[in-house]
């Protein structure tokens, strides 16, 4: 098949645009859409220093390089942050991910910070999993949210960019409808201003970008990234999410553009309505242990509370 824009052989079909693109035109089209969306949705308005959370996977790695390449046009400075979550469990998943994230920071020549859950917070996701009955993903998700916010503040960033893509968002929205998690849905936007005691704005520039396009782009650009899945991604909760994701992918092949419509309708019409219902004036407290914000005026934040329980479980279990 020929490229829709030139005589070269196409390497990529964009079904929802009825386009076939050669390597150069696909890369160019992807770049243009990225800048257009960033400007249209004012993702970086008033941003100066943007911390990119890099896990070593294709999405966050591509985000780092792309944002770095267009940083002058968007008038922002890019820095990087990654977390060693201590997920090894016979796979060396975290060691490999952190190594790849650092390689990418060096290639992009950006200032970066590595946070080590074991050294800096005295627990790991592997130990949380093996010594307690908590699902690894719930401890991991909470830890990442807390640590990335804190690290971005420490690095004097005003914005934190994450690599969540269209498929992640479609899955999150659909599963939110199924399980009635409307409060979480109300809070999940492509742009979340600093609120509830936090100082950092959070943005998801790939909110409307399909996962398989990011993967193809990362391969064509030759970025190093980790292909292996996290060993805990097959846990019960994640399997349910994966099934919802597969169902959405199937629907997308039969109805090209369905996922973009689902996420756009959510962002433009549904989320603002949910936000009006659920954005009550929350009593924001200050954690007695770490000084960071707590929800519902609690004395101890959720992260310190879980961390202390995990450390206590480790001691009880003789670690
Ligand atoms: Fe963390 Fe779960 Fe993702 Fe693994 S699959 S990185 S444990 S959230
Ligand atoms: Zn072309
Ligand atoms: Zn705390």
Kindly list the domain boundaries of the chain, sorted by start residue.
Answer: 1-40, 42-278
77-104 burial: b if 16+ Cβ within 10 Å, else e: ebbbbbbbbbbbbeeebbeebbebbbeb
Question: What is the pLDDT, as a whole number, of residue 247?
Answer: 95
Name residues whose C-beta falls within 8 Å of residue 144's C-beta, 6 or more positions apart in sequence.
53, 83, 85
Name residues whose C-beta falls within 8 Å of residue 267's C-beta, 6 or more positions apart in sequence.
189, 190, 207
- Tell the residue nearest (CA) to atom 5 of ligand 1: 233
Ligand nearest the Cα atom of residue 19: 2
Question: What is the pLDDT, as a whole number, of residue 168?
Answer: 93
Between the CA of 307 and the centroid of ligand 3 the distance, in Å, is: 9
Question: What is the pLDDT, as a whole number, of residue 197?
Answer: 75
Atom of ligand 1 lying closest to residue 141 CA: 8
Residue 127 contacts residue 87 (beta carbons within 8 Å): no
Name the residue of 85, 140, 231, 310 whose CB sits within 8 Å of the most ligand 1 atoms, as the mutation to test its pocket: 140
Question: What is the pLDDT, as a whole number, of residue 34?
Answer: 96
Question: What is the pLDDT, as a whole number, of residue 311?
Answer: 83
| Mean pLDDT of all residues in 84-108 | 95
Question: What is the pLDDT, as a whole number, of residue 315?
Answer: 67
Split at pLDDT 50, 70, 90, the class of 237 is: low
Task: Give the chain's largest Cα–Cα span.
Answer: 68
Split at pLDDT 50, 70, 90, the class of 113 is: very high
- Residue with the larger pLDDT of the pair 318 and 237: 237
Question: What is the pLDDT, as a whole number, of residue 263?
Answer: 97
What pLDDT digit, counting tens, does each position of 186-228 carry?
988 999 988 777 889 999 999 999 999 999 999 999 999 999 8
Split at pLDDT 50, 70, 90, the class of 90 is: confident
Question: What is the pLDDT, as a whole number, of residue 317?
Answer: 61
Question: What is the pLDDT, as a whole number, of residue 296?
Answer: 76
- Residue with the larger pLDDT of the pair 113 and 233: 113
Strands 49-53 and 77-84: parallel
Name residues whose C-beta falls within 8 Å of residue 111's C-beta, 6 or more positions apart in sequence.
79, 80, 155
Question: What is the pLDDT, as a whole number, of residue 89?
Answer: 78
**Of 317, 310, 306, 319, whose CA–CA distance to 142 is shortest?**
306
- Tell the residue nearest (CA) to atom 7 of ligand 1: 137
Name residues whose C-beta falls within 8 Å of residue 181's C-beta, 6 or more positions apart in sequence.
175
Between the CA of 45 and the centroid of ligand 1 the distance, in Å, is: 31
Average pLDDT value for the chain? 92
The burial of 130, by beta-carbon neighbours within 10 Å (0-12 exposed, 13-18 middle, 19 or more buried), is given as middle
* Angle in degrees, CA 112, 215, 27, rounded to 5: 90
With 70 as the cut, is the pLDDT of residue 251 above it?
yes
What residues are in contact with ligand 1 under a 6 Å CB criterion?
87, 125, 136-137, 140-141, 230, 232-233, 238
Q: For the domain with range 42-278, which CATH number is right: 3.90.1150.10, 3.40.190.10, 3.40.50.620, 3.30.2320.30?
A: 3.40.50.620
With 70 as the cut, is the pLDDT of residue 238 above it?
no
DSSP 15: G
Between the CA of 9 and the centroid of ligand 2 the distance, in Å, is: 7
Between the CA of 92 and the centroid of ligand 1 the distance, in Å, is: 14
Between the CA of 36 and the centroid of ligand 2 the distance, in Å, is: 20
pTM for the model = 0.93
Phi, then psi, of 270 in degrees rounded to 5: -80, -45
Question: What is the pLDDT, as a whole number, of residue 281?
Answer: 67
With 80 as the cut, is the pLDDT of residue 253 above it?
yes
Is the torsion defined by CA of 62, 64, 66, 69 positive or negative? negative
């Amino acid at each position: 098949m020929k490229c829709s824009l030139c005589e070269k052989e196409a390497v990529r079909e964009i079904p929802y645009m009825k386009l076939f693109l050669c390597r150069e035109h696909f890369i160019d089209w992807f770049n243009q859409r990225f800048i257009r969306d960033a400007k249209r949705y004012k993702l970086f308005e008033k941003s100066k220093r943007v911390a990119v959370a890099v896990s070593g996977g294709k999405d966050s790695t591509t985000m780092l390089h792309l944002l770095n390449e267009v940083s002058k046009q968007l008038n922002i400075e890019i820095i990087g942050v990654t977390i060693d979550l201590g997920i090894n469990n016979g796979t060396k998943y975290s060691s490999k991910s952190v190594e790849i994230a650092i390689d990418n920071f060096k290639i992009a020549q950006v200032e970066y910070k590595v946070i080590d859950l074991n050294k800096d917070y005295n627990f790991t996701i592997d130990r949380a999993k093996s010594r307690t009955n908590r699902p690894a993903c719930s401890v991991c998700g909470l830890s990442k949210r807390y640590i990335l916010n804190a690290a971005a503040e420490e690095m004097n960033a005003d914005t934190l960019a994450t690599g969540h893509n269209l498929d992640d968002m479609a899955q999150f929205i659909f599963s939110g409808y199924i399980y009635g998690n409307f409060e979480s849905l109300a809070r999940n936007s492509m742009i979340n201003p600093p609120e509830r005691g936090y100082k950092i704005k959070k943005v998801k520039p790939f909110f409307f970008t399909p996962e398989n396009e990011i993967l193809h782009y990362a391969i064509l650009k030759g970025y190093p990234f980790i292909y292996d899945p996290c060993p805990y991604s097959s846990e019960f909760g994640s399997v349910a999410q994966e099934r919802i994701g597969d169902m959405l992918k199937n629907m997308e092949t039969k109805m090209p553009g369905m996922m973009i419509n689902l996420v756009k309708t959510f962002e433009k019409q549904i989320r603002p309505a949910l936000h009006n219902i659920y954005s009550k004036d929350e009593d924001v407290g200050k954690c007695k242990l770490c000084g960071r914000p707590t929800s519902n005026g609690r004395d101890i934040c959720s992260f310190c509370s879980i961390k202390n329980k995990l450390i206590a479980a480790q001691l009880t279990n003789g670690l």
